[in-house]
Structure 1
Amino acid sequence: MHDRHPRLIVQAVDVADVMASVTFARKHDLPLAVRGGAHSVPGFGTCDGGLVLSLERMRGLRVDPEAHSVRAEGGCTWADLNHATAAFGLATTGGIVSSTGIAGLTLGGGLGFLSRRCGLSCDNLLSADLVTAEGRLLTCDENRHADLFWAIRGGGGNFGVVTSFEYRLHDVADILGGPTFYPLEAEVMRHYREWIAEAPEALGAILGITLGPPLPFLPEAWHGQPVIVVLTCWSGPADEDRAVRERLDRLGPVLGQSVQRMPYPVINTLFDELLPAGLHHYWKGCFTRELSDEAIDVHLDFGARMPCLQSATLLFPIDGACQRVAPDATAFAYRDATFATVIGPSWPEPADSEHNMAWGRAYHEALRPYSEEGGYVNFMSGDDADRVRANYRQNHDRLVEIKRRHDPTNLFRLNQNIAPS
C-alpha cells in the first residue's frame, strides 16, 4: 500500500540509539516515522524523505512471576511476549495476530481476547520508558510524569518513543479456543448479542463476517461463501468447557468448528497464514453501544458483498473489565461502548484497491447512524485525520495540552495526530 522512500533507516539496538535518532530528526527537521511491529495499516511506520526509527531489534523481555509482571522492549511482538509469559502460566491482553507489535497496539488502547476479563492492554500498563521529543528518557507511571503516563494509554504515538513497557500479568494458561462458522444470518448475530451480554467475563468471543476460508473442518461448499465466524477464547475453568460448547451450538447452524483446549498463545496464531505479509489493507472503525437490529441488517448487506477472501469485519466486545475504568482515567475515551468494530478489506492485487476501499467506505458510512461519532484509533486509516477529536471525545483537549508541553513542534506527527495547536 505504501511505497515510500526515507532518507535514513536506523535499526536501534538500545535506548541510546533511540535518543540519538530522535535528537537527529529534531535538529535536522526530518519527518520521523517510528516502526515497531510494522502493522500500521495507514503506513505510519515509514515516510518519504525522513528518518525511519525501527525498533525491531529491541526485543528483550523479563518476566517477574512473583510480581505478576513483565517488562518488554518496544520492538517486541505479541508472539514474543506471549511466548515468554506462557512459560509461567501468565498472560495479559494482547492482539489477535501474533506478529502485531506490542507498542502500537498498547499505545492506541489494546483490544484482544482477554479484554472482557483483564481490560485493555493499556489498562494493564504499569510503567513505560519513553524518549521525548527533546531526546530525554523518562520513566512514566502513576507517580512519575503522570501526565504522560495518562496520555500514552490510548493516545497513540503522539508523545514520544516508548522503549519498554511494563505490564500486569494474569493467571491464564490453557484456554478453550478456536473458530466456529455459521451461515450469514441475522439470527446468529442476535443470539451472539444476547450471549455476550450475559456471558462471564472469562469469555472472549469476537464475531467476524468473512468469506469461508479453505480450512479442512469447513465443508468445501462454504469456501469463499459469506459466513459468520465466532472466535472463542474461554479462559475460565475447564469443567465449564462443555457449557461454552453447547452455547456455541445454540447460536445457529454450525457449518464447521475447531474449538479445543490449547495454550493461550496459540489462539493468536490461528489465522496468521491466512494474512501473510504483502497484502493491501484499508480499515475503518467505529464504536457502538449496542448491536442493534438495524446495524445487523447493514452487516448482512455488506457481508454478502465481501470483496475478497482475506477481508473481514470484526466486532470486539469491550464490556466487562474495560467498562470498570473511568472514561477519563486514561486517554481511551469510549468506556461506555460495548463493541469496537473494524471493517477490514484486505486484498492481494493493487488493481483491486479502488473497489475494496470503496466497499469499506460505503460500509462504514452505512453504519454511521447506529454508531458513536468516534472509533478506535488503531482501526483508523490515513484519511481519518478529521476524526481525531471525535476519537478522543472528552479527553481530546487534555491530550492537546500535554502535547503542547512535551512536543510543541509536533515531531511525533506520523500517527493519528493530536496537533499541539
Structure 2
Amino acid sequence: MSANPQCEQNPFYENVKHLLAEVKKILNIPDNLFEQLVKPQRVLHVGIRVKMDDGSTRIFNGYRVQHNNARGIFKGGIRFWPDTSMDEVKALATLMTFKCAAVGIPLGGAKGGVEVDTTQLSRGEIQRLARGYIREIAPIVGPEVDVPAPDVRTSPTIMGYMLDEFEKVRGRHAPGVVTGKPECIGGSKVRGIATAQGGVYVFEELKKKFGWGKNLTIAIQGFGNAGSNAADILYRLGYKVVAVSDSKATVINFQGLDIPRLIEHKQKTGSVANFAQAQTLPSDECLKQPVDVLFPSALENVITKDNAHLIKAKIIVELANGPTTMEADKILEQNSILVVPDILANAGGVIVSYFEMVQDSYGFFWDEARVKEELHKIMVRAFEECWNKKEELGVSFRLGAFTLAVERVIEAIEHRGRC
C-alpha cells in the first residue's frame, strides 16, 4: 500500500473550491448555504484486503465520496489510479454534482477511487480488488442511493464484477447498481463512447454558433477511452485530427492522421509512438501545436500556469475532468482562448449512464439511434443554456456554466427545506 498523504492541499480540489467561491460572489450566496455546496454529505475511506497471486495479502486504500443529493441520487465513477487521493475524489464528486445540474439531469454527485497501479496486477487480482471494493462500499450504494460507473482504468468488465459481487452481498438481482456495464447484463448502447460523443455534439454546436466549416485542425491530448473515441468520431465526420498524444508520445501529421490505423497501432504496441504515418514528439508537445481546437482528454491539471501561454489553439473542449488549473484559466482568458468547460463538454458519459438507469429500471432497452438522439437533445439544450448564462453575466463559459448549475442545486436545496 503506497503512502498518499491527505494533509497536503490538492490543487485540483482547491481549483474546484475557488470556482465555487467565484460563483458565491456572483449569486451572493449566504455562508450557511455555501457550506452545503462545498462540503460533501458523506466520505468513506476503506481498506480493501486482496489476496495476491503469490499468496500474500495487500491492503489498498479505497474511497467513496457522496457530495450532494439534493437533485437526485448520488452518481459518479470509480477510478483505479496510483495517484488517487481523498481530496481528488472529493473534487471529482463535487464536479459531478454540478455537471448533472448543468445539463439538467436529476442526479446528485459522487465519486470513488482506489489507490492502485493496475498495470502491476494480474487480471485475477484486479477482479478480486473490484469485488473487494464494492463489498466495502455496499452499505452506502445501490440503485436508489448511489450508482457508480467506470472512470480512469476501470471498464465495463470491472463494472460487471462489481454488479455480480453486489448482488451476492444483497442477495437479490440489482442491475441498476452500476452503469457502464456490458450490454448483455443490462448496459446501454453508446455508453462506451458517450463522453466523446457528447463532447463532439457540443463542439459542433459551438461551430454552428461561429459559422465555421469543417476545415479546422484538431489536437487531442490523451488517447484513452474519451480521447480515442473523440478522434474516431471527428475523423468519421470529416474533421482533420492532426495531433494526438498519450502518456508516452505525441504524433503529428498536419495533412491529417489516419485515426482508425492509429487506434490499431496503439492497440498493437501500447502507445501512439512511432506511428508510421506521423512524426513522433514528446508527450507534452501536443498541447503546444498550432491548431484550431484542442481536446484535453486525459487527467486533471495538465494545463497550468507553466504551459498555458504556449497553447496556440483558439478553442479548448475539456473532455477530461479538471484539466485546467485556475491560474491557467486566467491566462487562457487573457489570450482570448475560449474554453468549453468540463461540466458541459464531458457530460455525455453521465447522461448516457442516466439513460442506462432508466432502461434498467423498466427492463426495456433503447437502440443506438434512440440513445444518440436523446443524448444530442440534452447536450444541445445544455450548451444553449450555459452559453446564455455566460452571455447574461458577461463571464467566462466556465463561470457561466457553474453559475447555472449552482442556481439549480440551490433551488433543490431550498425546496427540500435544507437551508
TM-score by length of 2: 0.33
More strand by share: 1
More helix by share: 2
